Amino acid sequence: MLSTMNTNRITELARLHSMQIGVATLSLVTLLGGTGTFTAPLSGSVTTEHAAAEHQAAPLNTDSVGNLREAMRMQRKLSTHSVTIRFTTGTGTVLNQTTIALADHPEWITLDRDMTSRVHASVRQESIEAYLDTLSMDSLQKPSACSILREYIDPQGVTRIETSCTAETGYRYNASEVATIAKHALETNNSGVSIAVSAVTPTIEALTSSGLTVKGTLTLLASGQSDFKGSGEGRKWNVRKAINEQVNNIVIPEGAEFSFNSALGGRVDLSTGWKLALTIFNGKDLKMFPGGGICQASTTLYRAVLRAGFPILKQKNHSLYVTYYEKHGVGLDATIFPGQQDLTFVNDTPGPIVIQSYSRGDEAFVNIFGIDDHRSVTMTGPYFTATAPEDLLANGHTLRRNEIAWQRSVRLESGERSDEVFAARYNAIPKSLAKRSPLTTERTRGEAEIAMHAPIAQVSD
C-alpha cells in the first residue's frame, strides 16, 4: 500500500517538473488514489479514468520514483540541446543549413513508457518532420518543371516565350529520414549533422505544339554563373535588368546564330530604363555611361555557352581585369557594346534551345535548355604562365604573363572531337591571382551529371 506521503511527494514532483519545463500538455504521472498503483508517463493530457482504462498499471515502488526523477532530469537536459542540419551536395558543398533548438520547441519533448513500464524522455520525430516541411531556403528550393504559355517575336525580331515559372535545379531529400537523424542527434547531444541531398535538374515543356518553335520537353544542357557583389547601385540595376528582362526566355532555333546585342531591346540609354554606371572606354578609361554592367549578363551567358559546347563566333574579353568576373570563372568574361562589340554563337543542336536567366541577390544565372544530343564537354583551367603545359598555345603562342586560358574539349556522339583554347589577354592581372585560382577539370555536359550552378573555379573575393 502506497503511503499518502509518497503519493503527495510524487504528485508535487510532477507538478513542479511540469512548471519548470513549461509544457502544460505533458501528463507526467497519473495516480490512482489509494490503490498503490500508477500509470505514467503518457504523451498528452489524459484523465485518470482514461489512463486506468488504456494503460496497465505498474506498482509504484522506489525504483519507479527513481525512474520518474531520472526521466524528468533528462527532459530538462533535452531542453538545452540543439542541432545544426547542413544540407550538402554529393561533393560536400553546403547548400544551406538550419538549426533546431529544443529550447524553442519544448512541446517536442515527450515522456513515454516502454514495455517494461519504465519512463523515458525523448523528442517527437513527427514534430521535426512537420518542421522540415515548412522550411523555405533560397538555395535548397524544390524541383521545378516549367511550362511554355506562349511564344512571340519582340520588336527586335527575337523569338521569346512566356513561361509558368523559372526552371531551376531543385533538391530532394526524405524528410522522414532527416527527422530520424535529427531526433537521434538531439537526444545524444550531437550538435551538427550533414545531409546529402539529391539534385533534380529542371525541364521546360511545351504544353501544345500548335504554332510553337519549341515542342516537347527541353532538358538542362548547361548553366553559367557570375557574381556582382560590390557593384554600385546603378550597375546592379543594369545587371538585373539585362539578366531578368533582356536575356531571359529567348528561343534560338536549330542552326540559328544568336547575337547578344539583339536581345537588349533597342537603344541602351536613360530613356529605355538603363542607369548610369562605370563603363570601360578605350581599353583603360572608366566613365559613367548608361547600361554599365550589361557585360555581367553577356559574361554569364558566355560561360553557359562554353559549358554547353556551342561554337562561339564572336567574343572578346575586357581590356581591364575586372574583379566582378573573378568568381565562378576567372578569365571567362565577354565584353559587348552595341554597334561595336558583340557576343555571338550558333545553336548546333538538333532542335531549338531556350535561354532562361535570373538573379538571386548579387548572383546572376543563365541556364540553357534544349534537346540532349549526347555530346560531352570538359572545361580545364584556369591556366597561367606558371601552370600552363608547354604545348598549350593561345592564338599561336605560349601564354603571356597578362593572359589567362581555358581549354575546352567537345566530343560529339559520332565520336568527332574538337579541342579549343580560350585565352583572355588583359592590360595586367593581379600577381596573386594564379595562387588563388587552382587548376580544375570539370565535365560540364555529358556523361557526368550536370552540376547546376557549380562554379568552374572557386576563387575568394
Q: Encode pLDDT of 175-214 as tens digits.
A: 889 999 999 999 999 999 999 888 888 899 887 665 678 8
- Among the listed ranges 54-68, 137-151, 383-397, which one has the minimum average pLDDT value? 54-68
Contact (CB, 8 A) for 114 and 43? no
- 453: pLDDT confidence band, cut at 50, 70 and 90? very low
Please compute, for residue 295, the number of CA atoms within 13 A of its CA located in the half-sphere on the CB side: 28
Q: Above 70 in pLDDT, residue 26?
A: no
For the segment 350-375, the average pLDDT, to the nearest whole number, is 95
251-289 in b/e form (b: 16+ CB < 10 A) is bbeeeeebbbbbbbbeebeeeeebbbbebbeeeeeeeeb
For the segment 352-361, the average pLDDT, to the nearest whole number, is 95
Greater confidence (7 vs 76) lies with 76
Q: Which three cell numbers stand for residue 443?
A: 565535365
For the segment 145-155, the average pLDDT, to the nearest whole number, is 90
Residue whose entry in the numeric block shows the C-alpha cell 557574381: 227
Q: Report the distance separating Cα 88 and Cα 194, nearest Å.
A: 7
- Mean pLDDT value across the chain: 82
Q: Above 70 in pLDDT, residue 370?
A: yes
Q: Above 70 in pLDDT, residue 41?
A: no
Greater confidence (295 vs 212) lies with 295
Q: Above 80 in pLDDT, residue 306?
A: yes
Q: Report the distance separating Cα 18 and Cα 15, nearest Å.
A: 5
Q: Report the distance separating Cα 135 and Cα 140, nearest Å.
A: 9
Torsion of CA 247, 252, 256, 262, to 10 degrees: -30
- What DSSP string describes 107-138? GGEEEEE-TTS-EEEEE-HHHHHHHHHT---G
pTM above 0.85, yes or no: no
Q: Above 90 in pLDDT, residue 300?
A: yes
Greater confidence (4 vs 327) lies with 327
For the segment 40-57, the average pLDDT, to the nearest whole number, is 36
Residues 214-250 have pLDDT tens digits of 888 899 999 999 999 999 999 999 999 999 999 999 9
Above pLDDT 90, what percent of the chain? 56
- 459: pLDDT confidence band, cut at 50, 70 and 90? very low
What is the structure's pLDDT at 125? 94
For the segment 80-105, the average pLDDT, to the nearest whole number, is 90
Contact (CB, 8 A) for 302 and 221? no
Which residue in 62, 60, 75, 61 sits closest to 16, CA to CA? Answer: 75
DSSP character at residue 13: H
Contact (CB, 8 A) for 308 and 224? no
Q: Report the distance separating Cα 156 and Cα 179, nearest Å.
A: 53
Please compute, for residue 170, the number of CA atoms within 13 A of its CA located in the half-sphere on the CB side: 13
Q: Report the distance separating Cα 240 and Cα 228, nearest Å.
A: 10
**Can you list the pairs that 92-98 forms with residues at least 24 positions away whose Cβ atoms lie under 8 Å?**
92/194, 93/454, 94/194, 95/137, 95/139, 95/140, 95/171, 95/197, 96/137, 96/138, 96/139, 96/140, 98/135, 98/137
What is the structure's pLDDT at 375? 96
For the segment 68-81, the average pLDDT, to the nearest whole number, is 90
Q: Is 85 exposed, middle or buried (0-12, 13-18, 19+ CB in 10 A)?
A: buried
